[in-house]
Amino acid sequence: MRNPQLNKSGKLTHLLSIEGLPREILMAILDIAEPFTEVAEREVKKIPLLRGKSVFNLFFEPSTRTRTTFEIAAKRLSADVINLHIGASSTSKGETLLDTVDNLSAMQADMFIVRHAASGAPYLIAQHLSATGREYIHVINAGDGRHAHPTQGLLDMYTIRHYKKDFTRLRVAIVGDVLHSRVARSQIHALTTLGVPEVRVVGPKTLLPACVEKLGVRVYHDVRQGLKDVDVIMMLRLQNERMQGALLPSPQEYFKVFGLTADKLALARHDAIVMHPGPMNRGIEIDSAVADGPHAVILPQVTFGIAVRMAVMSMLAGN
Amino acid sequence: MKIQIKNGRLVDPANDLDAPLDVFIAAGKVIGLGIAPDGFQANRVIDAKGLIVCPGLIDLSARLREPGFEYKATLESETEAAVAGGVTTLVCPPDTDPPLDEPGLVEMLKHRARGLNRAHVLPLGALTMALAGERLTEMAELTEAGCVGFSQANTPIQNTRVLRCAMQYASTFGYSVWLQPQDAFLARGGVAHDGEVATRLGLSGIPVCAETVALATILQLARETGARVHLMRLSSAAGIDMVEEARSRELKVTCDVSVQHLHLSEMDIGYFDPLARLDPPLRAVSDRDALRRAVATGGIDTICSDHTPVDDDAKQVPFSECEPGATGLELLLPLTLKWAREMKAPLIDALGRITSNAAQVLGIQSGHLAVGAAADLCLFDPQAHFRVTREHLRSQGKNTPFLGLELLGQVRMTLVAGHTVFESGH
């Protein structure tokens, strides 16, 4: 079975997941992103790589940050950007996902940025486009269910490389709700592909998926052991609806046991960096003192995110 | 109509018979094997050279989608698929719309099936009204209307008190209760086996304990109520162990597996293939292997198609939103043969799993070819290849994870009560 995001010659045509992508492609994206960080510092923050291209932000699930950064990235590449919040329009009128895709394809789309609550929805779209002879339309997964958020994973790698240079000597801990997290899955695949020798996941048993160790990670339930001597701490967001119920008793207890505080951070290496995909729940998964402290690289992540998304878009559809 | 089937290899698992014998048929019954009865004058002689002649297949689960889901399939389309697959008797679960919880619905279904005059259709009545798991159905009335047992299809009863009462009531009359072991709470929201693949793909999982917890309850209640229980669609190695253990302690329960589960595992979901979404979910490779072995050893009694035609619209959506199920009536035989070849199981044993064993589960005098038996027969060419394609399938449902696969074993002719209901050339 051919990886649906690669074409016959192994070139990236869609970005659906980091899983299955070779290290060379991941490194190429990070390298391409490098010069784009300086575009933001120019007086005219635009380059013409996507001039004349139409990029559709196809968001079936609400998102502010991801949609905005994709929009900025596309605009900096001179693309025309059309934002659609489908959650509020077509599907509520009964239109199917593939009907929506067909209609927008007929409007000469060049790229779909897709956010969907169902894992695999961007695959369905990519496979449909390919089955109907429209593989020239590129699909970027901007988060599907619990499955993947590849551009987030890539921007996290960019951030790690920026601060740590070499992936092959790192110890990384991913902390929190791995079960429901597409970000965690993309991070794990990216880290293991890039040669990080030790990736840990840390969380209560209710928030870790079955057989997670098969993804190539070490499992820790004790946060203090999990953070010991790590170089990178990647915190995950805990959704409101999961803070109280059968998965967790209360946000207070979660913070007490798993929240990243200065004393827990002290167990990591002295130069450890702290990351978070946002939006943060201060006082639940992370203490403000840490989020605003010297180890946090949370705002640079956002900035790098634009460059990485520019890199992915230009790699897929650049003139 | 008097028929002679000559030159075939007769395989009749119920009578442990595998021999080159002619079959003589008159008045809808088998009246002779090997030697023609005195004065027999055939109206038709069928040359079965190179073919296996066996009892018509009995499929313990085939959804015909009537009433209520005629856009997915109809009695007409699916009984045609059945006889094309060599299936002469099929059991249909009660999850129609409305569910088969009233005698009138069952009578209508039986009447429609008789009118089509193809496969025998044996309905399972709903165990509870609207399959809601609260009020019992009129089981005596439903039995009179033609139900052969009672089931919740794949909507388990959550309330164990109701389940116990339903089993007690059914056992009062000796009715059989067909249950798919799946705990409603543990399975809720899940779309795939809670294992490596679901974790990788970010799909919500149905843990094995959804099956084992339900099995523990059902087996305990079966022991206590004395109900005749048939366990539908085992999916896990742990589940098989529990059933075998219960049987070793003299509990009389029977069980089946879907033919899909003998060949596929969670790995076949690939990149979110909606055709591989089944209920129960495809489990780990080790579970699949355990199912394959259990069918060989007799730990699992029968193989069914779990035929579930689904319209394209309900499959062309993201995996977690698609309707589970696969079309299977036409693939039951070739996929059972494939299992037998791969497991090096004798042909007669393989055919037993889809004929005589199924008849035993049902407690019917069918699925064998002794003199006096109904002339329900299947003639197939075990060496004929075909590719599973949408065009090839007669079922209205084209949804099968085996699309594109090359299979061995093609049905050439199907007889029901001595009538030729299906016949194909090459």
Average pLDDT over residues B103-127: 96
Report which residue type is found at B261: H
Domain that holds residue B104: 55-362
Whether residue B8 lies inside any domain: the answer is no
What domains sit in chain A, N to C, each tagged with a CATH number? 23-148+305-317 (3.40.50.1370), 150-302 (3.40.50.1370)
**Least confidently predicted of A243-257, B320-334, B383-397:** A243-257
- Report if residue B40 sits inside a domain: no
Average pLDDT value for residue range B144-157:
97
Residue B326 CB partners (closer than 8 Å, separation 6+):
B260, B275, B278, B306, B307, B308, B310, B397, B399, B400, B401, B402
Q: What is the pLDDT of residue A86?
A: 79
Please tell me the distance in Å from A147's CA to the nearest CA on chain B.
4
Q: Is pLDDT at A67 greater than 70 in this prediction?
A: yes
Quickly state the pLDDT bin for A71 (edges 50, 70, 90): very high
Would the pLDDT of A89 be above 60?
A: no
Within 8 A by CB and 6+ apart from A76, the residues are A36, A39, A40, A45, A46, A47, A306, A310
Does B282 score more than 90 pLDDT?
A: yes
Domain for residue B104, yes or no?
Answer: yes
Q: What is the ipTM of this complex?
A: 0.94
What are the tens digits of pLDDT across the range B47-90?
A: 999 999 999 999 999 999 999 999 999 999 999 999 999 999 99
In this prediction, residue A318 carries a pLDDT of 77
The contacts of residue B11 (CB under 8 Å, 6+ apart) are B17, B18, B52, B53, B54, B347, B348, B351
pLDDT of residue B425: 66
Pick the residue from chain B with its C-alpha nearest to A146. B202
| Average predicted confidence (pLDDT) for chain B | 97
The DSSP code for A242 is G
3-state secondary structure B3-51: EEEECCEEEEHHHCEEECCCEEEECCEEEEECCCCCCCCCCEEEECCCC
Chain A residue with minimal CA distance to B313? Answer: A96
B312 catalytic? Reply is no
Q: What percent of chain B has pLDDT over 70?
A: 100
Q: What is the CA radius of gyration of chain A?
A: 19
Say what the pLDDT of residue A91 is. 56
- Average the pLDDT over A92-110 and give the result: 87
Mean of the pLDDT values across residues B209-227? 98
Residue A124 to residue B318, Cβ atoms within 8 A: yes
Residue B300 sits in a domain whose CATH number is 3.20.20.140
With respect to residue B31, please indicate whether it lies within any of the assigned structural domains.
Answer: no
What does DSSP assign to residue B175?
A: -
The answer to whether A20 faces chain B, any CB pair under 8 Å, is: no
pTM above 0.90, yes or no: yes
Please check whether residue B379 lies inside any domain of the structure.
no
H helices within A41-120, ranges in order? 65-76, 97-105
Over residues B93-101, the mean pLDDT reads: 97
pLDDT value of position A85: 83
Mean pLDDT over A76-96 rounds to 79
Q: pLDDT exceeding 90 applies to what percent of chain B?
A: 99
Please tell me the predicted confidence (pLDDT) of residue A235: 98
Residue B293 pLDDT greater than 80, yes or no: yes
Q: What percent of chain A has pLDDT over 90?
A: 84
Cα–Cα distances in Å, from A142 out to A59, A81, B176, B185? 8, 15, 51, 31
Q: For residue B420, is it within any domain? A: no
Interface test with B, best of A2, A102, A119, A187 (most B CBs within 10 A): A119
pLDDT above 90: residue A9: no
Q: What is the pLDDT of residues B166-212, one digit of tens each?
A: 999 999 999 999 999 999 999 999 999 999 999 999 999 999 999 99
Alpha carbon distance, N-terminus to C-terminus of chain B: 25
Domain count, chain B: 1
pLDDT tens digit string along A239-258?
888 888 899 999 999 999 99
Q: A34 falls in which pLDDT band (50, 70, 90)?
A: very high
Alpha-carbon distances of B237 from A146, A239, B75, B291, B298, rounded to whole Å: 28, 35, 35, 7, 14
Position A90 pLDDT exceeds 60: no
Q: Which chain A positions have a beta carbon within 8 Å of B265's beta carbon?
A: none
Q: What is the mean pLDDT of chain A?
A: 94
* pLDDT confidence of residue A245: 86
Q: Do A120 and B205 touch (CB under 8 A)?
A: no
Does a structural domain hold residue B47?
no
Provide the pLDDT for residue A88.
55
Tell me what pLDDT residue A240 has: 84
Q: How confident is the model at residue A93 (pLDDT cuts 50, 70, 90)?
A: low
For A:92-111, CB contacts with B below 8 A are 96-98
CB contacts of B194 in chain A (<8 Å) are 210
Does any domain span residue B338? yes
Query: 3-class SS at B272?
Result: coil
